[in-house]
Amino acid sequence: MERNKLTDKLDAGREYRSMRMEIREAEDGQMLVEGYATVFNETYPLYDGRTYKVMEKIDPNAFDECDMSDVIMQYDHEGRVFARNKNGTLTLETDEKGLKITADLGGTEIGRQLYEEIKGGYTDKMSFGFVVEEDKKEYAMDYDQDLETCTRTITKIKKLYDVSAVSLPANDMTSISARRYSDGVIAEIEAERLERANRIKKIRILLEV
């Protein structure tokens, strides 16, 4: 069976998250769009279930050693390249808020068309593709609501591949990669719940003796 591009990307460990973008007015006629690929220390949900939820946040130092040597801007993570940091039409920089991107879409006809779509409000969401090198997880249990929360902090991002304008607020790759990571965490939570239940059962047996 032929594997599709999405499966190949996910199996390579690439993850996707959503972001917003907007037009930046430029006096020199450049067609600039900008936004934050991610913001630091802001917790956002990956999965919200009845008995557990998975949250995520980005450490301010996560991009310190990130490979951003060749990052491109695309549409829906495939097809033509609208901007690229190697030729100076895409810039990426971290500040106290997060990772900020600025793209000049005036270099190609399709880029100018995308600029007009963004300017007109037809497209205002983006996603970015990256690979995590290091993270840490913290668990918290609310026994009153029987709700366990895992908060993942991404401490080091290995490589940033692309930023992409997307046709839907939550595109398939963003949703699938977030759920795929969450599935692994949920399995860990279920295993921990089972171990906890077994410990409680053993304690009760000992108390009854």
Q: Chunked in runs of 10, what are the mean pLDDT values of the chain (209 residues)?
A: 50 79 77 91 89 92 96 89 96 94 93 92 88 94 90 96 82 68 84 80 74
CA distance 14 to 138: 22
92 forms beta bridges with 101
pLDDT for res 169 = 63
pTM listed for this prediction: 0.80
pLDDT for res 12 = 62
Radius of gyration of the CA atoms of the chain, in A? 21
pLDDT for res 68 = 96
Contact partners, residue 72, CB within 8 Å, separation at least 6: 81, 82, 83, 84, 85, 90, 161, 162, 163
pLDDT for res 4 = 54
